[in-house]
Chains A and B, each alone.
Chain A
Amino acid sequence: MKQNEAIIEKINHFLAEEFEAEKEKITPEGNIKEVLELDSLDYIDLVVVIENNFAFKVKPEDFGDIITFHDFYNYVISRVNAKELA
């Protein structure tokens, strides 16, 4: 559990840093695309920051099911856990 919280904190930190998002606007139910004002190019940078921070490869199509920050946290957490199990 603590590990998941640490992951979420890390994600919020790099989103605020990399995309200059105001931290208070990042809420689990918030729409990630709208809050971070992501365009198609920003998704490439999102792949880069995830890989640099969590060391797993992301396919751009993975973003198809990610709507909210909550979805995004769950995606990263599941990939980190899957990597640890592997």
Chain B
Amino acid sequence: MGIYSCLGKDSGEVRDSLYAGRSGIILDPVRKEMGYRSGLTGFVERPVLKGLLDRRSRIMLPEQGEYAYMATLQALQQAGIEEDYIHKHEIGILYGNDSSAKPVIDATDIMREKKDNMLIGSASVFQTLNSTITMNLSTIFKLKGINLTISAACASGSHAIGLGYHLIKTGLQDCIVTGGAQEINVYSMATFDALSAFSVRESEPQKASRPFDRSRDGLIPSGGGASVILESLESATQRGAAILGEVIGYGFSSNGEHISNPTVSGPVRSLEMALRDAGMSARDIDYINAHATSTPAGDASEAKALCAVFGEANVPVSSTKSMTGHECWMAGASEIVYSVLMMQNNFIAPNINFEHPDEDSAQLNIVKTTTEKNINVFLSNSFGFGGTNSSLVVRKWSK
């Protein structure tokens, strides 16, 4: 697996940030100049790709594609998958992405000003399409299996992993690069800001993302890239790969109600389906990485759903979004990476800024400080606009 986020540029840096409970949130003055109601954002440094990629590959990649490239490069290295192996096998890619705002706006500016579309240049179309990441990474890494983008709002990355799990399970693919990426430029989040969805606790950026806390006032947009290589046991064993974990359950549902208001029953169905698929009961889960984004309504709904399914089992819960902000299309994949890092290193990362519960979160076992714990099985939730829900269950690998 590989990760490039506001918590660090690789697994080691991110593991340390998670353990330390370090926030990656800043106040961006440019957003205020551009009329944002909230200037809070996760901060992710753009990678330097010169020297790693040729000019043609670089100019085709939008911002989130750069993050996805870095995460995938790390993931392939960690998995021990080299160029020659890729050449001889049908490795696929299923990646979560649901926007590419800046390239669209840049192209539109040229179109309006110059009235000559040729001046938009050759790279724009490959940056603007929603499938920009899968089309670019499959070309860069020469992947020859399934090649598909999953767009499901803030559950995109999670569904990408869940669908990849099914393609492996049914024997259609032996190895798939899955993941999610999220742009974070000033253009990408204005429409979200228009909904007054962001926290305005600008005086304390690192305290602004406070999932489940009763004084939460909105989410903080964030981004980056996260990649997870899924592989059949047979293939991974044959290669002698270092197996990090096993996807054993995928649950999904659609609320079938309002486009942005959450429900309790939708997530409950997704959670129950994931447990059924994994052949597990609530008590078998050692840790839940909640979707909780720090919005008043969303966190309350998820708390009710978790309470309905896991209430008596008292499973430890934390939302790593308290540190990262909401990594949107990427979140479902990055939170699998964060949880695997916890599983590998025997700790639960804290739900920072959880100071006072409300009536719903008081019913949950929310982890406030870094806690040493052996995690054998974890569950990760992701929900998105339109009422799309995804829950994944992952188990530590043992022979």
Contacts and interface: CB of A to CB of B under 8 A. Distances in A.
Interface of A: 19-20, 39, 41-42, 44-45, 47-48, 51-52, 57, 60
A19 B59 CA distance: 11
Contacts of A42: 56, 122
A44 B118 CA distance: 7
The majority secondary structure among interface residues of chain B is helix
Chain A binding surface SS class: helix
A39 B121 CA distance: 14
Contacts of B116: 51, 57
Given A19-B55, A39-B56, A45 B119 contact: no
Contact of A48 (B55, B56, B119): B119
Contacts, number: 25
A31 B118 CA distance: 24
A86 to B, nearest CB: 18
B56 A47 contact: no
Residues of B in contact with A, size category: under 10
Nearest to A41: B122
Contacts of A45: 59, 121-123
B121 A44 contact: yes
Nearest to A52: B119
Nearest to A21: B55
Contacts of A51: 116, 119
Given A44-B118, A45-B123, A47-B118, 6 more contacts: A19-B55, A41-B56, A42-B122, A44-B122, A45-B122, A57-B116
A47 B56 CA distance: 16
A41 to B, nearest CB: 4
Nearest to B114: A51
Contacts of A60: 118
A60 B116 CA distance: 13
B191 to A, nearest CB: 29
A47 B119 CA distance: 8
A20 B116 CA distance: 25
A60 B117 CA distance: 13
Nearest to A49: B121
Interface string B16-60: 000000000000000000000000000000000000000110010
Nearest to A44: B122
Contact of A20 (B55, B119, B122, B123): B55
B31 to A, nearest CB: 29
Give the most central of B56, B59, B116, B123: most A CB within 10 Å.
B56
A27 B17 CA distance: 52
